[in-house]
Structure 1
C-alpha cells in the first residue's frame, strides 16, 4: 500500500478532527466546562479555543491549497465549547466534500503570519509543515484538557487514527 496525497492530508485531517470532536464532547461534561475555551497551559501560550481553531484552519487550508478551492473566510470567533464543536463539525463536513482526484501537486508558498518564509512542493507542505502543526495544536488541546482534570487517555486521542486496523475498546 502506498500513501496518497489524499490519505496524508484529508484522511489525516479527518482523523485528527474526529479525535478533537470526541475530546470536545467529553469536555462539555466537565464541571468547569465554561472555562475550558480560555484555559492555557502557561500564561504565554494561546488558549484552548485557539488550539481547536488552528487544527480546523490547517484542515481548511489543505482544502484551499491542495484542491485549489477558494473558500470564504471563517471568522474564528468561536468562544464556547458548543461553538467549537460546531466549528469542528463544519470542518469535517468540508473535508467530506473532497475527493482524491481533487488534489493537485504544485508549489506551495509558506507564510508565518504575513511573512513569506519560502516555497516547497505539496508533499513537503503536507508532511513537513501542515501535519506537524496540526498535530502540535491537537496535542496541546489534549494537554489542556488533561490539565483541567478530564478523564481522558491516549486511547481518546489515537482511536480515530488506528480504529480501522486496531480494536480499541472505550
Structure 2
C-alpha cells in the first residue's frame, strides 16, 4: 500500500476549506448589503463576548496555514499582517494563503517523524505528523468553523453544504 505524505493529507484539504471559507464570507457580505447593514455587523461579530470577532477567526485560520507551511513545508515565514478591516481585505488574505499552499512543493515537506519546537501556546515539541494531527488541522478547523458559526448566528443563510462545498465537489481540483 502506498504511503500518503503530509502534503497529500493537508494541502488539498486546506485549499478546499479556504475556498469554502471565502464563499461563505461572500454570502455574508451579500447578506449585509441586502439587509442594508454596515459590513461591521459581521466583521466585528462574535459568538460570545469573550471570543474574538469574525476578522480574527479568518486571520487565525490563515496564520495556522502559514505556520504549518513554515514548519512542515519548509516555506519562508510570511507575515500576513493581521490588519484586515474589510471583506475585500479578508478575501485577499485568503487568496494569498491559497497561493502559498499551491506554491508549496511536495518535495520540500519534512518527513512525518521530523521533530521541531513550535509556538502554539506555549512553545511545544512536535513531530511533523503530531503537529499536523494535534495542532494544525484542529486549530485551523476551529477558527474556520467559528467564522461559519458567527455568520449563522447573525442570520446569514449558510448551511452545511456551503461549509463543505458539496455542490461543486466533482469540479474541484487542487
Helix, strand or coil: the match of 2:31?
A: coil
CA displacement at 1:24 relative to structure 2: 1.2
Instruction: State the 4+ residue runs in structure 1 displaced beyond 3 angstroms.
Output: none
1:28 match: 29
2:43 match: 37
2:119 match: 111
Paired residues for 1:1-170 under 5 Å: 2-31=3-32, 32=37, 34-35=39-40, 36-105=42-111, 106-113=114-121, 115-116=122-123, 118-159=124-165, 163-164=169-170
CA displacement at 1:3 relative to structure 2: 3.3
1:98-143 per-position Cα deviation (integer Å, ceiling 9, x unaligned):
1221211221313244x32x21210010011110010011100000
Q: Does the aligned pair in 1 maintain the 2:75–2:104 contact within 8 Å?
A: no
Q: Does the aligned pair in 1 maintain the 2:80–2:93 contact within 8 Å?
A: no
TM-score (norm 1): 0.87
Q: How many residues align?
A: 164
TM-score (norm 2): 0.85
RMSD, matched Cα: 2.2
**Where in structure 2 are there 5+ consecutive unaligned residues?**
none
Q: How far apart, CA to CA, are the structure 2 residues paired with 1:2 and 1:18?
A: 27
